[in-house]
Amino acid sequence: MSENGKPKLKLAVYWGAACGGCCVSVLDVHEKLFTVVENADLVFWPIALDIKYKDVEEMPDGHIDVTLFNGAVRNSENEHLAKLLRQKTKVLVAYGSCSHMGGIPGLANFSSKDEIFRRAYFDSESTINPEKITPQPHFEIPQGVLEIPVFYNDVRSLGQVVDVDYYLPGCPPQTERLVEVFLAIVTGAQLPPKGSVIGALSKSQCDECKRKKSDNKLVKEFKRPVDIIDDGETCFLEQGVICMGPATRGGCGVRCIEGNAPCRGCYGPPPDVLDPGAKMLSAIATMIDANTPEEVERIVATIDDPAGTFYRFSLPGSILRRKVLV
Amino acid sequence: MSFNPKIVAFLCNWCSYTGADLAGTSRMKYASNIRIIRVMCSGRVEPTFVLKAFSEGADGVIILGCHPGDCHYHEGNYKCLRRFHLMKKYFNQMGLEDGRLRLEWISASEGKQFAELVNEFTTQITELGPCKVKENIETLA
């Protein structure tokens, strides 16, 4: 029971294939954590609390009110916990870019499991593995059987594995947005329809960005941020630097751009966009100042890595989902 | 069993679709593998359309527009040209064969060229074999 007499919310935070930054962003609520603890019991949070998977398995279905699931689904452990938490949770929130559209771990979809294992366990310069040992999900030793999770061929977003109630994007999500969403749940405010992206705007980054923009965005060459001396006030695209602003949802407070770095697209696409990278590809192509195939090719060649740039946070969530395997 | 490719074609309303119409009214014969989608301009063809076609089982996609300088909207076909080259680079990174996506110009009077192009592209895709995109998406995990 909380002090105001209402039953406390049961809150869980879990990480799949993630870097840990999302969990830290939850801690970034600072002193507001006391408001959280007044209104909620943290029942499961591997980074902060020693609660075992079997404790979660023993909870009745729908026991947890809100779960913030961050990280993508990369292996069988991630998938098991995603399904388990879905069963035990009333409101499952995909928290952060990785659970939203695959995020940075999703870039592994440019390779197959075999390629990743070959690189990690045989080919990398710092690896010495003469016996060619690779991880085995089941391994028998005299004392019994050791088990580790099965590494999947593909990275998937949370929504591709289980039914998700809300998506809260960002790498990591801005803590202020989390607090807003949490307070909305605590106060019982009207929640948006299931499946919505919350804690973000429906307009693009450009709508919030304060840099000077003109209609002329034509360029003869695309540049990397290190190749220009940024004047601090002109639109990055007009300076020839690829900024994901046009195909990215606002809501983060344009922090990267305010810090003089182009947007990388962690907040995902605006509403009703099927494929964020394709939208960006479309926008960037209109900037190419050329009318002949040869000149267009030359300018396109100055974009080093279109797939990795336009789908930096969204490869598993895109239409093709992964590199085609032959 | 011989491979019968599925080809999605985006034709601009003003030149290429009229050119295809001319091929039809002139009773020219060409491969029936092509599924024509009329768009107002080749500049209307978003990369999303092309990706969606491949993800739903197309083996090849061809975009046809007015010849350079002839666009009904002045420069829609140039916009298409720019997107096409960037899309090709993206497809290369994604492991899709180069020949599966093509951009050509067909004017309203080029019915014969249209029929020949369709036959040639169908042969090209038949040689490449079935596209693996849809199968890849379906067998994820």
Q: Count of domains in chain B? A: 1
Nearest CA in chain B to A291: B78
pLDDT at A37 over 90: no
Strand partners, A73: A156
Between A121 and A4, where is the model more confident? A121
Q: Which helix (H) or strand (E) holds A208?
A: helix A205-208
- At B62 the three-state DSSP class reads strand
pLDDT for residue A1 is more than 60: no
Position B105 in a domain = yes
**Domain encompassing residue B34:** 7-138
Higher pLDDT, B29 or A4: B29
pLDDT the model gives residue A319: 94
Consecutive H or E run containing A80: helix A76-88
* Minimum-distance CB partner of A306 among B54, B89, B136: B89
- Among B55, B85, B89, the residue with its CB nearest the CB of A319 is B55
DSSP symbol at B43: G
CATH classification of the domain holding B131:
3.40.50
Subunit contact A293:B46, Cβ cutoff 8 A: no
Going by C-alpha positions, the residue among A314, A310, A299 that lies closest to residue A221 is A299
Assess whether pLDDT exceeds 80 at residue A186. Answer: no
φ, ψ of residue A282 to 5 degrees: the values are -65, -45
Return the higher-pLDDT residue of A323 and A33.
A323
Mean pLDDT over A302-307 rounds to 94
B2 located within any domain = no
Question: A65-107: per-residue pLDDT in tens?
Answer: 999 999 999 999 999 999 999 999 999 999 999 999 999 999 9
Q: What letters, b where the CB count within 10 A reaches 16 and e where it falls short, cover B92-129?
A: eebbbbeebbbbbbbbbebbebbbebbeebbebbbebe
User: Looking at residue B26, what is its pLDDT?
Assistant: 96
Residues 87-146 of chain A with CB under 8 A from chain B are 110
Which residue ranges form the domains of chain A, and what is each CATH number? 9-104+153-197 (3.40.50.700), 110-148 (no CATH), 205-310 (no CATH)
SS3 content of chain B, % helix, strand, coil (to 5): 50, 15, 35
A303 CB near a chain B CB, below 8 Å?
Answer: yes
- Using the predicted structure, report yes or no on whether residue B1 has a pLDDT greater than 70: no
Q: Is the pTM of this model over 0.80?
A: yes
> Is the omega angle on the peptide bond into residue A193 within 30 degrees of 0, that is, cis?
no
Pairing of strands A64-70, A89-95: parallel
Residue A113 has pLDDT above 70, yes or no: yes
Evaluate if residue A3 carries a pLDDT over 70: no
| Average model confidence (pLDDT) across chain A | 92
Q: Is A282 on the interface with B (CB under 8 A)?
A: yes
B83 contact residues in A (CB cutoff 8 A): 281-282, 285-286
Whether B52 sits inside 8 A of A307 (CB atoms) is no
B51-81 pLDDT per residue, tens: 999 999 999 999 999 999 999 999 999 999 9
**Would you say A210 and A262 are in contact if contact means Cβ atoms under 8 Å apart?**
no
Give contacts of A308 with chain B, Cβ < 8 Å: 93
Are B68 and A291 in contact (CB < 8 Å)? yes
ipTM of the complex: 0.92
Per-residue pLDDT, averaged over A265-275, amounts to 93
Q: Give yes or no for a contact between A212 and A233, defined as CB atoms under 8 angstroms apart.
A: yes
Distance CA A53, CA A49 (A): 12
